[in-house]
Amino acid sequence: MEKRSFLSLIVMLVCCVAVQAQPKIWTLEECVKYAIQNNISIKQSELDIKTAAIDKKGAFGNFLPSLNANASHSWNIGLNQDITTGLLQNQTTQFTSAGANVGVDIYKGLQNQNTLRKANLSIVAAKYQLLKMQEDIALNVANAFLQVLFNKENLKVQKEQLGINQKQYTRSEELVNAGSIPRGDLLDIKATVASNNQNVIAADNALLISKLSLAQLLQLKDFENFDVVDDTNMRDGNNILAQTPVAIYDKAVESRTELKIARTNLEIAQKDVKIAKGAFQPTLQGFYSFNSRVAYSDRVVSIIPNTLNPTSTVGYVQGTNQNVLTNNFSPVLGNPSPFFNQFGDNKGQSFGIQLSVPIFNGFSVRNNVERSKVSLERSKIAVEQQDLDLQRNVFTAFTDAKGALNAYESSVVALEARQGAYNYAKERYDVGLMNSFDFNQSQTLLTNAQSEVIRTKYDYIFKIKILEFYFGIPLIKN
C-alpha cells in the first residue's frame, strides 16, 4: 500500500513538472497587447505625454500671481559710524532685513492664453504620437507573427517531403535488390534525401530566427520556449476588398493617426504665431512689496547733563565778545529694542502697476514672428504631404491586396496541378516507366508549389490586415 502511494506521488510530480515545462502558446492578440505594454519606445512616448502635462501646468501657472520672500542678516565689522555718537569707530554691528514681493500679469498680449492653448494641443499631439507608435508596433508584431506561422508551415512541408523521400528510399532499396531498377536510381534517391535533410535544417533555423525576432519585439528573454498558435483565417471576414479605394481613403482621412498628428501640429504652429505677435503689444503688471528691518546695536534711551563738561561755547556776542554757552548732555544707552517691535516700527509697503511698451528691440520680436510664420508654412505643407502619402498608401495597399489574393488563388491552382502530376509520376516510377531523375524533378516542383502556396497565403493575410488598418478596423479587439 505504501509502495503504491509512493508511486502515485512520483507520477503526480512528473505530471506537474511536465505541465510547467510546456511553453506558453501565444495568440496574435496576446502578442500585440504584450508588445504595447512592454515596448521601450512606447514607454518613452508615455513619458512624452507626462512632459506635455507638466508643460500645461507651467502654462496655467502664468495666470497665477508670483510671490517671493527674501531675508538677510549681515555683520558689519570694522570702521563704522556709531549711531549714538555719530563718530567713526571700529565696531561690529548686525542688521536683519526681510521682505516679500507679489506680482501679477494683468495684460500680456494674450500670450498666456495662447500658451495654455498650445500646451493643451501638445498633450493631444503626444497622445496621437503614442497611438501612432502603438499602431506601428501592432503591425510589426503582426508581420513577425505571420512570419513565424509561415516558417512553421514551411518546416512541416519540408518534413513531410523528407518522410516521403525516406519511404521512397526504402522502397527503392527493395526494387534494387529485386533487380527491378538500377542501383544508380537508388543513389539519386539517397542524394535527394540528403538534400531534404538540409532543407529541413534550413527551415528549422528560419523558424527559430523568426521566433527570436518576434520575442524581441515583445521584449521577451526566454525565446527558446516561445511559440504561437497555428490558427490562421484566410477569409476576408470584413469583406474589405468589396470596398473601393476611394471609400477606404475617405474613411482613412477621418481616422488615420498620422494625419491627426499633422493637423494638430498645424494648430500648434498657429498658436506659436499668435504668441510671437503678442510680444508687439504692451504689457501691464501689478505689484506689491513689503519690507522691514531690525538692528542689534545699543540705542539712546535718554540724556543727562554732563557733569564733567557741563557747558560748551557755541559762539560770541557781537560787540562785547561775550561767550555764548550751551548745556552739554550725555546720552544714556540701552539695549536694542525688541525684535518684533523694531520689525513693526520699521515696516514699509509699496504697490502699483507697471506698463511696458515695446518700441525697438533689435528686431528680435519681428524675427520671432517671421520664424513662427515659416514654421506654420512647414506645418501646412506637412499636412498636405501626409494627405498625399495616405492617398498613395491606400491605393497601393488595395492594389497589393488584390494582387496577393490573385497570386494565392493562382498558386492553389498550380499546387493542385503539381499534385496531380506528382501522383502520375509516382505511379509511373513505381512500375519502372520513369527514371529517378525525372521523378525527383516532379517532387521538387511539388515542394516548390507547396511553398509558394504558403508564401502567398501569409502575404495575402498581412496585406488584408494593412487594408483593414487603413479602413479603421483595429488589428485586435479592445
Q: Where are the beta strands (DSSP E) in 36-150?
A: 66-81, 88-107
Query: In which element (H, E) is residue 424 found?
Result: helix 364-430
Report phi then psi at 230, rounded to 5: -95, 5
d(CA 189, CA 171): 10
**Could you list the mean pLDDT of each consecutive 10-residue stretch along the chain, which spans 478 residues?**
46 44 78 88 91 94 92 81 63 84 91 94 95 91 90 89 82 73 75 88 92 88 79 66 91 91 96 93 92 74 70 71 71 68 83 89 90 95 95 94 93 94 86 78 88 90 89 75
d(CA 465, CA 27): 16
d(CA 18, CA 14): 6
> 57 CB contacts (<8 Å, ≥6 apart)?
none
Report phi then psi at 414, rounded to 5: -65, -40
- Per-residue confidence (pLDDT) for residue 206, from 0 to 100: 93
Q: How far is CA 271 from the centre of its chain?
A: 24
- Per-residue confidence (pLDDT) for residue 6, from 0 to 100: 44
The DSSP annotation for 221-277 comes to: S--TT-EE------S-TT-GGGS-HHHHHHHHHHH-HHHHHHHHHHHHHHHHHHHHH
Query: What amino acid is encoded at 99 in this protein?
Result: G
- Is 178 buried (19+), middle (13-18) or exposed (0-12) by CB count in 10 A? exposed
> 475 CB contacts (<8 Å, ≥6 apart)?
32, 135, 138, 139, 142, 465, 468, 469
Question: What do you get for the CA distance between the two ends of the chain, in Å?
Answer: 54
- The residues facing 315 across adjacent strands are 324
Q: Are strands 299-305 and 329-334 parallel, antiparallel or unpaired?
A: antiparallel
d(CA 283, CA 108): 5
- Per-residue confidence (pLDDT) for residue 261, from 0 to 100: 95
> 185 CB contacts (<8 Å, ≥6 apart)?
172, 176, 435, 436
d(CA 91, CA 298): 12
Q: Could you tell me if 445 and 226 are in contact, meaning their C-beta atoms sit under 8 angstroms apart?
A: no
- Per-residue confidence (pLDDT) for residue 16, from 0 to 100: 44
- Is 418 buried (19+), middle (13-18) or exposed (0-12) by CB count in 10 A? buried
Closest CA to 51 of 4, 115, 116, 119: 119
Chain position carrying cell 490586415: 465
**Torsion, Cα of 468, 470, 475, 477 (10° steps):** -90
- Per-residue confidence (pLDDT) for residue 2, from 0 to 100: 45
d(CA 90, CA 98): 26
Query: What amino acid is encoded at 202 in this protein?
Result: A
| CB atoms closer than 10 angstroms to residue 392 | 11
Q: Is 324 helix (H, G, I), strand (E, B) or coil?
A: strand
- Written as nine digits, the cell of 419 is 499534385
Q: Are strands 227-228 and 25-26 parallel, antiparallel or unpaired?
A: parallel
Q: Could you tell me if 278 and 132 are in contact, meaning their C-beta atoms sit under 8 angstroms apart?
A: no
- Per-residue confidence (pLDDT) for residue 89, from 0 to 100: 66
Q: How far is CA 56 from the centre of its chain?
A: 18
Q: Could you tell me if 454 and 153 are in contact, meaning their C-beta atoms sit under 8 angstroms apart?
A: yes
- Per-residue confidence (pLDDT) for residue 12, from 0 to 100: 52
